[in-house]
């Protein structure tokens, strides 16, 4: 990985430490590109890259959805001890994962979809669950009729609900794979406002790690940028560092995107 990753001045804020980690299942048989990464509480990180499926594979190991083939991933109090030393169930409640390709339960209403995980894990009492549910519904600002079945919801409503469902367990970090995929520009902006502005207000210490095929959103919201290419990982403090990179693979990616968007010209 590039040496542009910020230095760590306060390890007490370190939430996840990743050392030379590789997914067990690589898309298209691609060789492993080990990932080294430190994620801090309350941090926003965007993942960009040439291969969306590769980004998904790494997000899934970071969220403990799938096993790693090598390296280690340490969470919170486990840092400096054994990798992922928490029991699997507790670990999965500590990390959230959402993916535009993961459907809601078709036979449950929006409200029942929202509450399902919280009731299943019995993590909180009914009053606490109800208060969190109302806070998340309020943060959607009328974007969803929670009595509908998923089949009758718009794609935007389904994405809102999928994110809110993961947040019902109060994860320390939320990993989201391409949550804006296939949405119209206004819908993307609605979802971005919810995910990147209202969610941090409700959960001030939550870390958000988001892969996207839309650099325009990365440009609009402050955050660290991780770029994945077939030659390796590159980490940048912010958008300005990313678009100013001298790396050939990054420059080529920017060149490709420039033909479709005008957001790069401001930093060139």
Structural domains of the chain sorted by starting position, each given as residue range(s) with its CATH number in brackets: 11-100+173-267 (3.40.50.300)
What tokens were used for 112? 């029942």
CA distances from 225 to 37, 98, 139, 234 (A): 12, 19, 26, 8
Would you state the pLDDT for residue 203?
A: 92
Confidence at residue 119, expressed as pLDDT on a 0 to 100 scale: 65
CB 77 within 8 A of CB 159: no
Inter-residue contact 71 to 19 (CB < 8 Å) = yes
pTM of the model: 0.85
- 189 CB-near residues (< 8 Å, 6+ apart): none
Return the residue matching tokens 């994620």: 39
* pLDDT the model gives residue 120: 62
Structure tokens at 88: 């699997």
What is residue 144's predicted lDDT score, i.e. its pLDDT?
65
pLDDT block averages, 10 residues each, the chain of length 268: 43 86 82 92 94 92 89 69 49 83 82 72 72 78 73 90 88 94 92 93 94 89 91 93 94 84 51
Predicted pLDDT at 246? 95
Cα distance between residue 75 and residue 59, in whole Å: 15
Residue 220: which of 185, 247, 173 has the closest Cα?
185
Ordered DSSP codes for 88-128: HHHHHHHEEEEETTSPPPTTS-HHHHHHHHHHHHT-S-HHH
């Amino acid at each position: 990985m590039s040496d542009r990753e910020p230095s760590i001045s306060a390890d007490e804020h370190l939430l996840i430490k990743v050392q030379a980690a590789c997914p067990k299942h690589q898309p298209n048989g691609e060789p492993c590109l080990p990932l080294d990464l430190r994620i801090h509480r309350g941090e926003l990180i965007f993942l960009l890259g040439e291969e969306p499926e590769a980004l998904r594979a790494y997000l899934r190991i970071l969220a403990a959805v799938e096993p790693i083939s090598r390296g280690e991933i340490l969470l919170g109090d486990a840092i400096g001890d054994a990798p992922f030393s928490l029991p699997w169930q507790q670990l999965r409640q500590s990390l959230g994962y959402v993916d535009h390709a993961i459907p809601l339960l078709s036979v449950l209403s929006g409200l029942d979809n929202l509450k399902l995980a919280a009731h299943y894990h019995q993590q909180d009492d009914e009053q606490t669950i109800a208060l969190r549910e109302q806070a998340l519904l309020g943060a959607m600002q009328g974007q969803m009729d929670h009595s509908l079945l998923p089949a009758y919801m718009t794609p935007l409503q389904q994405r809102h609900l999928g994110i809110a469902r993961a947040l019902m367990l109060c994860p320390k970090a939320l990993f989201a794979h391409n949550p804006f995929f296939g949405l119209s520009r206004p819908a993307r902006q609605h979802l971005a406002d919810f995910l990147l502005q209202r969610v941090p207000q409700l959960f001030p210490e939550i870390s958000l790690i988001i892969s996207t095929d839309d650099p325009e959103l990365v440009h609009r919201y402050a955050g660290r940028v991780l770029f994945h290419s077939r030659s390796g990982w590159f980490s940048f403090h912010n958008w300005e560092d990313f678009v100013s990179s001298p790396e050939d693979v990054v420059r080529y990616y920017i060149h490709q995107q420039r033909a479709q968007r005008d957001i790069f010209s401001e930093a060139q």
